[in-house]
Amino acid sequence: MTRRVLCFGELLLRLGAPGRELLLQSPLLQVQIGGAEANVAVSLARFGHHAAMVGTVAGNALGDAALAALRGHGVDVGRVRRDPGARMGLYFLATGAGLRPSEVVYDRADSAFARAGSDAYDWPALVAEFDCLHVSGITPALGQRCADATVAAMRSARAAGLEVSFDGNFRPKLWAAWQADPATVLRAVLAEATIAFADHRDIEVVLGPDADAHADTHEARILAAAARAFAAFPQLRRIATTLRGQNSVDAHSLGALLVTRGGDVHRVAPQAVEGIVDRIGAGDAFAAGVLHGLLGGMADGDALAFGHAAACLKHTVPGDFNLVDAAAVGALLRHERLDVRR
């Protein structure tokens, strides 16, 4: 079933050191397009949905290249504004190796997207044609204007009866740049969400630590935090998250969990993910996969399994975007052989 999903967020240029080099170890950077919400839009488009972006890019060749990249993957970019006097947001990536983790350096201050306030977007008109709005915690972390725009978008979407999807994506470096109080800002954001992609750490940013918690496992901490979130936010119906274990940068395990307001708990057992090519965007691939399932009428457990499989496959694809389609995810779910497809 094809659904219409609107994603609100910043399109970025990703400047990556070659291979596993440190930043500027050699005088080369590889340029790719990314951004959390754009990653979700690309996945949903490849899964067969009508996915659209709304936001603002620089009105120059860099902004045009970002729009062309999304358009090439089937994303509708007709609602993205161009600001001729502004710059693109950037992030720099040094991919880790072995026991050295990857590192991200942001350069997003005063970007075209960060400069655009809520009044730049006619939210009631923008959301009217869609079934779902997807945002993430990265956008309100960029400054008060972006925080206000996020809340306005979500309120308009919920008033129009849309599914409202929020991915926690807590980024301490971005919040620290403008000395904001993330708990206050994110409480207003989470108050509008109907589904949240968040673990106990994301929820504790908003609600504070649980002084009464005695959970001694990762899953138990998530379930305790989910119970608090459902109590605090009455419109929230589902919380989903991955559960990641790490032996090294190149060898992880990935499980998944989905909890409903009614108390149902769905699990996907941890899967070994080895020989990792690029883990950036795996959480976005998970969110897109779960949304694909839920919007398409899958049962909660099946939607979780689809999202988990999509996230596992993202580790095999270079760049921010997960370029696999629904057939490839289905093949993994069916445990099909890994022979060369001819």
* Residues 329 and 306 sit within 8 Å (Cβ to Cβ): yes
Three-state secondary-structure class, residue 146: helix
* Residues 225 and 204 sit within 8 Å (Cβ to Cβ): yes
DSSP assignment string, 42-100: HHHHHTT-EEEEEEEEESSHHHHHHHHHHHHTT-EEEEEEEETT-B-EEEEEE--BTTB
Q: How far apart are CA 124 and CA 340, in angstroms?
A: 48
Q: How far apart are CA 9 and CA 111, in angstroms?
A: 12
Tokens at 46, concatenated:
């490849």
Q: How far apart are CA 107 and CA 13, in angstroms?
A: 10
β partners of residue 82:
57
Q: Quick check: is 110 catalytic?
A: no
User: Beta 251-260 vs 238-248: how paired, if at all?
Assistant: antiparallel
State the catalytic residue, choosing from 76, 131, 250, 284. 284
Residue showing tokens 């991915």:
167
Residues classed as catalytic: 284
